[in-house]
Amino acid sequence: MVPDLAVWLKERSLLTALIQQQLVRAQTRMKSQADKGRSERQFKEGDMVYLKLQPHVQTSVATRSCQKLAFKFYGTIKVLKKVGLVAYKLELPASVHIHLVVHVSQLKQHVPTQAIVGPDLPSTESCYDHSDYTSLGSCF
């Protein structure tokens, strides 16, 4: 082998390694930036979720006079089972003409409200004793 060729091949292999290292660095930086906007979502059978629909698909679910003001999520819909790694089969009404299996990115967890509503109102008799008007100041 010619000495110049050996040096050239060595420089070329070093340059190739440097370029590959820079590409890996750029890929990891791009992945970390893309992962900032992602969230890990997993659902179990029986969970209630909201389904995200595109405007042209929404007409089979609910008709709106103005598609611009249509809801982004519809639900609550029950998860029947997990299909693969990132897809779920949903319990949709028969009148809806969309596929039963959807990607996890199209689902949002339903969080029920925790408001406790009591059947009776609290008594106000202790505050409003009509015989003595001086007790009203203690209630307010």
Instruction: Summarize pLDDT for 94-126 with one digit per residue, the tens.
Output: 887 788 999 998 898 888 877 666 666 555 555
- For the entire predicted model, the pTM comes to 0.57
Measured between alpha carbons, how far is 133 from 140 in angstroms, rounded to an integer?
A: 13
In the chain (140 residues long), the average pLDDT of successive 10-residue segments reads 85 96 97 88 91 70 70 86 92 85 90 70 55 52
Residue 89: count other Cβ atoms within 10 Å of its Cβ.
Answer: 15
117, two tokens: 């509503």
DSSP 105: G
Residue type, 130: H
Strands (E), 16-98: 48-52, 73-83, 87-91
- Contacts of residue 130, Cβ cutoff 8 Å, sequence gap at least 6: none
Helix (H) or strand (E) holding 102: strand 101-103
